[in-house]
Amino acid sequence: MNIKETALEILRFKRSDILLQGFPTFEMSYYGANHEGYETNGKSHDVPVGTFWTDVWGVGWLKEQEGVMGFPREHPISKPEMLKSYKFPDPNDERIYAKIYKDKEIYEKQYADTMFLGGSLRSTVWERTYKLIGMENLMEYFYTEPNFVEDVLDTVTNFQLQILDYYFDAGATVFNCGDDLGTQNSLLLSPNVMEQFLKPRYKKVMDKIKTKDGIINFHSCGHIEPILEMFIELKIDILNPVQATANNLENVIKITQNRLALQGGISSHMLVVGTPEEVRQNTRDVVALLNKNGGYFCGPDQGMVFNPDNIAAMNDEIYSLSAAG
C-alpha cells in the first residue's frame, strides 16, 4: 500500500497503526490566492520587512516582521458607498487561472506518485470578505449594513465557485479551504452571524466540491468546538490544525470520531518553550487521544518557526509510534 492509499485508509477511519504528518497534497493555487498582486512577480509574503504591496483584490499589505506573513492595512471597500466603483477580480482572467495549469505541470513531473493534486480556496468566505472591508468594519456592518455585506459575500462566494471549475478541469481531488473562525477562547463571530451570513455560502462551495467527490481539508485556527457540528454538516473531511491551547481535545475527539478527520493537535506552545522530552510526551499523549480509531494526521497545531531539537523530537516520536503500530 503506497502513501496515497494509506492516507485514504486513515481518512476513512480504517487505519490507526500508521501516522502521517498531514494529508499528502500538492496544492495548485490561482494567482491571488496567496495575496499576490499583478505587479509583484508572484511574490507576496516572501518580501523584505517594510514592503507594501497591493494584491489582485486591491487589498494593501505590509510586511512588518521577519518570518511572519504581512498584514492587510488597506481595504478597498471599507465603506458601503465604495462598492459601486469597486471592480472585483475576474476568475476567468487568464492572469488569475493560468497559474493553476502551471502548478499542475509541476505536480505531474514531480509529485503525482506520492501526493494528491489539490486546489487552494484560501480565505474561502469570511477572511476574503474582511480583507476587502476591514475586520472591525465588517463586524459592525453585519448589523448596520447587512445588504452590503450580503452583496460582498455573494460575490466572493461566486468567485470561489467559478475558480473551482478550473481546479476541476486541472484534475484536483483535494480542496484546501479555510477561514480562521476562532480566538484563543471563543468563536470570533456569534452563532447567529455564522448561521445567517457564512454557513449558506460555505454550503454552496462545499456542495459543489462534493459533486466531484472532492476531499475537503478545512483550516481554522482558534476555538472551534461550538461549530464542529457545522463542519460535519457541511461534509468537510479534514479539520486542521486543531489548536490544543484553544480547545478541549477530549471534547473535540468525542464529537468528531468517525465523522470528521483531524490534522494537527500537537502543541505549538510546547514546541516553542518545551524540552525535547516534553515534546515527546506531548506527542504521545495527543496521538493516544486523537488516534484511537484512525482519522488522524499527526503534526503541530500551528505553522511556526520551531526549535529544531523539538521538531526533531516530535518527528522521531511520530516515527517511533508509527513503527510500533
Q: What is the pLDDT of residues 117-135, one digit of tens each?
A: 999 999 999 999 999 999 9
229: CB partners within 8 A, 6+ apart: 255
Q: What is the pLDDT of residues 281-295, one digit of tens each?
A: 999 999 999 998 999
Q: Are 27 and 119 in contact (CB under 8 A)?
A: yes
Domain 3-324 is found in CATH 1.10.645.10: no
Regions in the chain scoring below 70 on pLDDT = 324-325
Cα end-to-end span (Å), the chain: 16
Could you tell me which residues come within 8 angstroms of residue 255 by beta carbon, excluding any fewer than 6 positions away?
A: 225, 228, 229
State residue 324's pLDDT score.
61
For the chain, the domains span 3-324
Fill in the DSSP letter of residue 83: G
**pTM assigned to the model:** 0.96
Residue 219: closest CA among 124, 103, 100, 116: 124
Which residue is it, cell 492509499?
5
In whole angstroms, how far apart are CA 121 and each of 126, 233, 320? 12, 19, 34
Q: Is 266 helix (H, G, I), strand (E, B) or coil?
A: strand
DSSP code for 302: S
